[in-house]
Structure 1
Amino acid sequence: MVSDRIPPHDGSADPSGRQQPTLDDVITALETAHESADTERFEAAFRLAGGLLGPADSRESAAAGPRLAALLPAAPPFERAHLAMMVGACVERGADPVACADQVLAGLREALTGALLLIGRWAETGGGELPDPDADSPGEAHARIADPGDPDAWPAHRAVIGWWTLHLWQMASFAVYTHAAVRGSARAGGVTAVLAELVERYGDGPHDLKGLLHLMRTLDDEPLLVLDRPSGTGYLVRMDGLTDNFQLHTLLAELLIGGGHLPGTRPDPEAVALSRTAEVDGRRRVTALGTFNLLAPDGSWIWNEGTPDDIPVVDGVRTLVLEPQPYERSWSAGRFIQQVPGDLRLERVLTPAEAAGLISRTAPAHPFEQAFH
């Protein structure tokens, strides 16, 4: 959690006897310094902000989040990233995520773009192991990737800033993306598509962005057409907050087998609860068992390791075909993103004629060997 990274205030008294500033005081000082373009005062207030945010209660944090987010565009680059992490901590403590999200996600885009610039320039200047943001010097990296004819050009600065601050933007963005309202607006506005493409290009860099990518791909209030080939039946269901296909698989089994629509063994109730809202207890492992082979309508496999966003849209609705699983599967029950509750609801059972017509337009599963190519 982002709030775990905010340093606690040491609680020491001011030896002069002066009253210590409150978090509200410091944010007001930041806003005043921003308005007057007083960099020195901004940096002085910024140094106090983290220490005061640590012990702040939920009411103070909720009020602080949007105010800090509004300061992000004009903050100095490195302070800006730390300020974003403070915004993320405020969101975790109750600040309005929608009011905070735009500037945080804009900063993530800038950091990802910069990080990709550094990767490209690193390859152009000899390649080798990329710099370690925790151990290496940003100044040395800048000197290597800068244009010799114009060493002060912005691209090199942008690349280094992005590379060295990406982890902070990642944490702040994760905090806002755990909220369905942010996911919905970012997806509808095209922000998520841009960010997801940048994350995919970043790949396996020093910072693991897999969790953030799963959040970006999470579907909320999304209809899903489920066609069961063995029984010839069909179901229209609705997904909310499903972050991975292991979770979808378990909830489908509970909905269709547990609901008496399909034969089979009902999932362990504890595995179902962990797939919805229950917290994983790290001291014990709850095993979920596979029930179906999940397929796209063309017969290609939908892997449990993926996300529901992998399920193709056919005639305006995501369509999933179920067949018997070709081999036994099991996994640790739970949700890939613990902070996001998930659910799967049955909206209606298709008529036999509807189901038959739709199933006739799908293909059987690709052979087991072909699924791996």
Structure 2
Amino acid sequence: MAARDGDRTERAFAALMEAVQWAPDAERGPAGPRLAALLPAFPPTGPRTLLAMAAGFCVEHGADPVSCAGPILAAVHADLLDALEFARRWAFDGAAEKELPEPDEKIIDDALLTRLGGDVHEAARLALAWCSVEKWQPPALAVLCRSAEVRRQYASALLPACRDLAALAQHDLTCLAHALAVLDDEVLVVLHRPTGTGFEVRIGGIGDNFQLHTLLAHVLVGGGQVPGSAPSAESVRLATDSEPARERTQTVATGAFELLAPDGERIWNEGLPDDIPMVEGRRLLVLDEPTYRRSWNADRFFPDLPGSAELVRVLSTDETRSWFARTSFTPAMSDGPTQLLGD
């Protein structure tokens, strides 16, 4: 690549993609960061996503995700922005047909590049980004799901562009959006309306609200803080185990609560902890009796990302009353004492 020798680069790239599949993990570890470091210099018209996938594959087999994340996620961010710019130019050219094209490289021809305007190389880059952005998800997930540090450092910058592009309804970016929205070391204020009690619960690494629901029931019902049926030990293990199940299980989790926003709107299990509204700088969640019995497969959304939830403390009666006053709910108040858990 440094010599700008296309023929040699193509041959080396093919050999690399073959070798990385069969190399021992001891070789994949140091290879991952070196492969990721090639991305900034790799031509945008070349198979950059395959190079990123090779680096991500090495991360899945022991390479350091922090060392690989910068180049991979910078390329992801650039392609998200380029895909959005493609959509903007497509809609801005004044043509009668405004419907965005499917993201298929077969659409790229001279007429398309002319329609996009500007330098032909820039137009080709935008069109390729539009067609290939979904392919960035596997390498992005490889680094995002294996490091809270990576998520803290990069996720907030990428998430708006990811959601804006997904909103155009031409790309399935569900997995990437979920990974970028994962909350780490986030303390929720959780109010249990039937008992009028309140809690601070610290969560991290949770991929969706099915997993959150299971872990809140484990902490609060299983911990003896509120009445109800605690989740099974196996469903909790599947939500938290650092060694994920490699095949889909038949384990079923059963809902213990209705998850509600402070204004009474339902927070769906299919959603994310990031959906929980902020109230005066804190995420505030209300738990109520379930309106009907619901159950779901207990496997977590991201097999390689273990979730966590821990009770930080039980709120005092006055604190609980104050938080309930910020909601549309009238609780049965509890006179239980404030409890501070150990470190």
Cα separation, partners in 2 of 1:132 and 1:298, compared to 1, 3 Å: closer
The match for 1:51 among 12, 15, 18 is 18
Which residue identity lines up with residue 174 of structure 1 in the other structure?
A: L
- The secondary structure found in structure 2 opposite 1:301 is coil
Do the aligned partners of 2:86 and 2:130 also contact (CA within 8 Å) in 1? yes
The match for 1:105 among 73, 82, 85 is 73
TM-score by length of 1: 0.79
Q: Provide the residue aligned with 1:14 in structure 2.
A: none
Q: CA deviation at 1:118?
A: 4.3
Residue 72 in structure 1 maps to residue 43 in structure 2: no
Q: CA deviation at 1:155?
A: 4.0
Q: CA deviation at 1:346?
A: 0.8
Q: Provide the residue aligned with 1:22 in structure 2.
A: none
Q: CA deviation at 1:348?
A: 1.0
The match for 1:275 among 232, 239, 245 is 239
Do the aligned partners of 2:137 and 2:175 also contact (CA within 8 Å) in 1? no
**Whole-Å separation in 1 of the counterparts to 2:251 and 2:117:** 58
Residue 95 in structure 1 maps to residue 66 in structure 2: no
Cα separation, partners in 2 of 1:105 and 1:195, compared to 1, 3 Å: farther
Do the aligned partners of 2:81 and 2:161 also contact (CA within 8 Å) in 1? no
Cα separation, partners in 2 of 1:113 and 1:144, compared to 1, 3 Å: farther
Residue 261 in structure 1 maps to residue 228 in structure 2: no
Cα separation, partners in 2 of 1:312 and 1:102, compared to 1, 3 Å: same
TM-score by length of 2: 0.85
Q: CA deviation at 1:170?
A: 1.8
Q: CA deviation at 1:295?
A: 1.4
Do the aligned partners of 1:142 and 1:157 also contact (CA within 8 Å) in 2? no
**Whole-Å separation in 1 of the counterparts to 2:108 and 2:290:** 51
**Whole-Å separation in 1 of the counterparts to 2:103 and 2:39:** 25
**Whole-Å separation in 2 of the counterparts to 1:305 and 1:183:** 21
Do the aligned partners of 2:141 and 2:179 also contact (CA within 8 Å) in 1? yes
> What's the CA shift string for 1:274-313, capped at 9, x where partnerless?
222252743x522211111111222222111100001112
**Whole-Å separation in 2 of the counterparts to 1:229 and 1:292:** 10
**Whole-Å separation in 1 of the counterparts to 2:312 and 2:119:** 60
Residue 200 in structure 1 maps to residue 166 in structure 2: yes
Q: CA deviation at 1:42?
A: 2.8
Residue 229 in structure 1 maps to residue 193 in structure 2: yes
Q: Figure out how many residues of one structure are paired with residues of the other and give that number.
A: 323
**Whole-Å separation in 2 of the counterparts to 1:302 and 1:164:** 33
Do the aligned partners of 2:103 and 2:132 also contact (CA within 8 Å) in 1? no
- The secondary structure found in structure 1 opposite 2:188 is strand
> Any stretches of 5+ residues in structure 1 without a counterpart?
1-32, 366-373
Do the aligned partners of 2:234 and 2:251 also contact (CA within 8 Å) in 1? yes
**Seq. identity, %:** 41
Cα separation, partners in 2 of 1:226 and 1:269, compared to 1, 3 Å: same
Cα separation, partners in 2 of 1:202 and 1:95, compared to 1, 3 Å: farther
**Whole-Å separation in 1 of the counterparts to 2:26 and 2:168:** 37
Do the aligned partners of 1:243 and 1:335 also contact (CA within 8 Å) in 2? yes
Do the aligned partners of 2:238 and 2:245 also contact (CA within 8 Å) in 1? yes
**Whole-Å separation in 1 of the counterparts to 2:305 and 2:187:** 18
Q: CA deviation at 1:347?
A: 1.0
Do the aligned partners of 1:121 and 1:145 also contact (CA within 8 Å) in 2? no
Q: Provide the residue aligned with 2:49 in structure 1.
A: 81
Q: CA deviation at 1:162?
A: 1.0
Q: CA deviation at 1:160?
A: 2.4
Which residue identity lines up with residue 94 of structure 1 in the other structure?
A: G
The match for 1:169 among 127, 131, 136 is 136
> Any stretches of 5+ residues in structure 2 without a counterpart?
331-343
